[in-house]
Amino acid sequence: MADAPKNKGPYAWASLIGLIITGVVVIIFVWGNPEKKDDGKPLVQMRPKNVMQKYANALEVAMKFFDVQKAGKLVNTNISWRGDSALKDGSQAGLDLSKGMYDAGDHIKSSYPMAFTATMLSWAILEYGDHMDMVKQLEPARDSLKWITDYLINAHPSPNKLYFQVGDPEVDHRCWEKPETMDDNRPLLYINESKPGSDVAGEASAALASASIVYKKIDPKYSGELLTHAQQLHTFATTYNDSYITSFPKMQNYYNSSGFKDEILWSSIWLFHATHNKSYLTFVQALSDDNDYMGLGGMTVFSLDDKSCAAQLLVARLSFFDTGTVKASDKIGQDFRIYTDVSVCGMLPGAPLQLYEMTKGGLIWEDNKNALEYPVAQAFLTLLYSDYMLSSNMKKLNCDGKYFTPADLRKFAISQVNFVLGQNEKRMSYLVGYGTKYPQFVHHRGASIPADETPSCKKGFEWLNSTKPNPNIATGAMVGGPNLDGEFSDMRKNLEQLEPFTYNSALLVGLLSGLVSTSTVNNTFI
């Protein structure tokens, strides 16, 4: 568990906000429904083709990290060195919080990053589930998603109460042991009316709303349960406005939150997509009209801490396709399209007034800590935008007079994931278990301790300090990654570069799922 650094503020180039959006030929398109031509007749439903084996293999590897991170009573696990753990979590409050996933290389379970993991898994399934299905990863993705949403439902015992953390980081970090043998105190933290947390409640709402769409056809009863909790949490988040780090100041040392308005936007647009109830768009419009909400400049980096540009893309999606009660020509989608165009243009190499610093190796750069989170997240958004352009027959994106095609955007996304998979200064895959060269000293308790050892809290530190590679492979972990100069030190104590985060894997799964096939018609959303 580690702190998520605050993102940099907006850049002073407001001229791009007024960029002229290129002409868009819009097809009638409803997520999950057949596409239609201009004459109103359905098109032949396109299936993905031309599997890109490299990305299919990487996706299969990345999916395994969710099994590495699962808590509770394990079912059909394919990770030989993992067993049941945290079976009594939540018992002191009469709750079953045994499920869920550990956040990183330690044994804390936090609803903030865990819910973000679920939201990103849902989004990947909804946009690229047909790709996943081709390579037999759709069911594992749904299974991992439900492992989290079951936990979130149990962590929300009443409308205005959400348990957001199991375990004490200060206590947990004084031990180095397996999750199967941990016996330290596992206290619970929760938000309520007197100690609100709009960011945590908003993220949990987004997770459950998006998951409700995933399960709408395959398990309507479960979908309805998810949606009920999502709506209650949205009401809680919008009624009792404050950040959870205000209620619990110590949390800024672990999973910091620089604001909660992005989570309100995120939750609201997911609930609209889940319900097609336009009342949720009033929250979206209110944030658009809020001069204090700087996230709508399209100039922040997508991350656990800041979902602004991702939420903007979900609103802008309304301008590409007719969606439920909203037409592609409606103003709200068109307005947010401007923000999204600014954000996407700011990522593209060679675009005027490029927003983000790039390393010599061609990686988007934001922070030394957990460096790969940012380029993978941005690449996912860029790939989605590229596919939206192709699906709606939008030929070019106008970036202040310079034009980019969908192929240009896809090329950028590929450059970022290829860096992760080994096209970098070290010629090393930063996805553990992929390729022939990947990190051997991942900062992960369970992976570092031999399967036949059961050390106590303090005794386990001999494996943290060991100079031998991890005896267990944390397959699918995407480590923090290199520094700005491309340097990377494969040493277990190098927490900044070697600790994996579960939500990083969800971001990577989304990106890889989009690249598994060359098909670009997004037809899995409901």
pLDDT digits (tens, 9 = 90+) for 433-445: 999 999 999 999 9
Q: What integer pLDDT is reported at residue 353 of this predicted model?
A: 77
Residue 409 has pLDDT above 70, yes or no: yes
Q: What integer pLDDT is reported at residue 357 of this predicted model?
A: 86
Fold of 14-515: Glycosyltransferase (1.50.10)
- Which of 479, 469, 371, 397 lies closest to 434 in space, CA to CA? 479
User: In which band, very low, low, confident or very high, does the pLDDT at 189 lie, cut at 50, 70 and 90?
Assistant: very high
Residue 6 has pLDDT above 60, yes or no: no
Q: What integer pLDDT is reported at residue 300 of this predicted model?
A: 81
DSSP tag of 41:
P
The tokens 């922070």 sit on which residue?
367
Q: What integer pLDDT is reported at residue 295 of this predicted model?
A: 77
| Dihedral over alpha carbons 143, 144, 145, 149 (to 10 degrees) | 100
- Which of 19, 13, 40, 18 lies closest to 29 in space, CA to CA? 40
Residue 40, classified by CB atoms within 10 Å of its CB into exposed (0-12), middle (13-18) or buried (19+), is exposed
In sign, the C-alpha dihedral spanning 436, 437, 440, 443 is: negative
What's CA 358's distance to the chain center, in Å?
Answer: 22
What backbone phi and psi angles, to 5 degrees, belong to 364? -60, 135
pLDDT digits (tens, 9 = 90+) for 117-145: 999 999 999 999 999 999 999 999 999 99
The tokens 């301008």 sit on which residue?
319
Structure tokens that stand for 494 in this block: 């190098």
Angle at alpha carbon of residue 333, lines to 327 and 337, rounded to 5°: 140
How far apart CA 227 and CA 363 sit, in angstroms, is 38
Q: Is residue 36 helix, strand or coil?
A: strand
User: In which band, very low, low, confident or very high, does the pLDDT at 519 lie, cut at 50, 70 and 90?
Assistant: low
Mean per-residue pLDDT, 365-384 = 96
Mean per-residue pLDDT, 440-458 = 95
- pLDDT: which is higher, 29 or 232: 232
Residue 487 has pLDDT above 80, yes or no: yes
Contacts of 7 (CB under 8 A, 6+ apart): 258, 300, 301, 303, 305, 306, 366
Q: What integer pLDDT is reported at residue 229 of this predicted model?
A: 98
Q: What integer pLDDT is reported at residue 183 of this predicted model?
A: 85
- Contact of 477 with 514, CB cutoff 8 Å: no
User: In which band, very low, low, confident or very high, does the pLDDT at 299 lie, cut at 50, 70 and 90?
Assistant: low
Structure tokens that stand for 477 in this block: 């972990």
Q: Is residue 191 helix, strand or coil?
A: strand
Q: Given the DSSP bridges, would you call strands 357-358 and 162-166 parallel, antiparallel or unpaired?
A: unpaired
What's CA 197's distance to the chain center, in Å?
Answer: 20
User: In which band, very low, low, confident or very high, does the pLDDT at 356 lie, cut at 50, 70 and 90?
Assistant: confident
Residue 296 has pLDDT above 90, yes or no: no
DSSP tag of 324:
T
Q: Which amino acid, one-letter code, is at 350?
A: G
Q: What integer pLDDT is reported at residue 50 of this predicted model?
A: 80
Please report how the helices 331-347 and 279-288 are oriented relative to each other, as an axis angle in degrees rounded to 10.
50
Beta strands in 210-303 (DSSP E): none
Residue 419 has pLDDT above 50, yes or no: yes
pLDDT digits (tens, 9 = 90+) for 235-252: 999 999 999 999 999 999
Q: What integer pLDDT is reported at residue 14 of this predicted model?
A: 34
How far apart CA 234 and CA 431 sit, in angstroms, is 35
How far apart CA 45 and CA 364 sit, in angstroms, is 36
User: In which band, very low, low, confident or very high, does the pLDDT at 11 lie, cut at 50, 70 and 90?
Assistant: very low
- Contact of 458 with 448, CB cutoff 8 Å: no
Structure tokens that stand for 156 in this block: 């929300």
Residue 302 has pLDDT above 90, yes or no: yes
Q: What integer pLDDT is reported at residue 48 of this predicted model?
A: 56
Please report how the helices 198-214 and 138-154 are oriented relative to each other, as an axis angle in degrees rounded to 10.
140
Residue 5 has pLDDT above 60, yes or no: no
User: In which band, very low, low, confident or very high, does the pLDDT at 4 lie, cut at 50, 70 and 90?
Assistant: very low
pLDDT digits (tens, 9 = 90+) for 141-169: 999 999 999 999 999 999 999 999 999 99
Structure tokens that stand for 291 in this block: 């001069």
Mean per-residue pLDDT, 312-331 = 93
- Contact of 402 with 352, CB cutoff 8 Å: yes
Please report how the helices 308-316 and 373-391 are oriented relative to each other, as an axis angle in degrees rounded to 10.
10
Mean per-residue pLDDT, 496-506 = 97
How far apart CA 42 and CA 209 sit, in angstroms, is 28
Residue 305, number of CB atoms within 10 A of its CB: 24
Residue 49 has pLDDT above 70, yes or no: no
Q: Residues in the chain, how many?
A: 526
Residue 98 has pLDDT above 70, yes or no: yes
Q: Name which of 34-38, 58-62, 288-292 the model is least confident about.
A: 34-38
Q: What integer pLDDT is reported at residue 184 of this predicted model?
A: 81
How far apart CA 256 and CA 243 sit, in angstroms, is 10
Residue 43 has pLDDT above 70, yes or no: no
Q: Is residue 188 helix, strand or coil?
A: strand
Share of the chain above pLDDT 70, in %: 88
CA distances from 423 to 408, 416, 428, 430, 490 (A): 19, 9, 7, 10, 17
CA distances from 340 to 17, 120, 334 (A): 9, 18, 10
- Structure pTM? 0.91
How far apart CA 517 and CA 238 sit, in angstroms, is 39
Q: What integer pLDDT is reported at residue 304 of this predicted model?
A: 96
How far apart CA 174 and CA 184 sit, in angstroms, is 10
pLDDT digits (tens, 9 = 90+) for 420-432: 999 999 999 999 9
Q: Is residue 9 helix, strand or coil?
A: coil
List active site positions.
106, 443, 490, 499
What residue segments make up the domains of the chain, in order of their start? 14-515
Q: What integer pLDDT is reported at residue 122 of this predicted model?
A: 98
Q: What integer pLDDT is reported at residue 523 of this predicted model?
A: 52
Q: Give rounded-to-5 percent helix, strand, coil for the chain.
A: 45, 5, 50
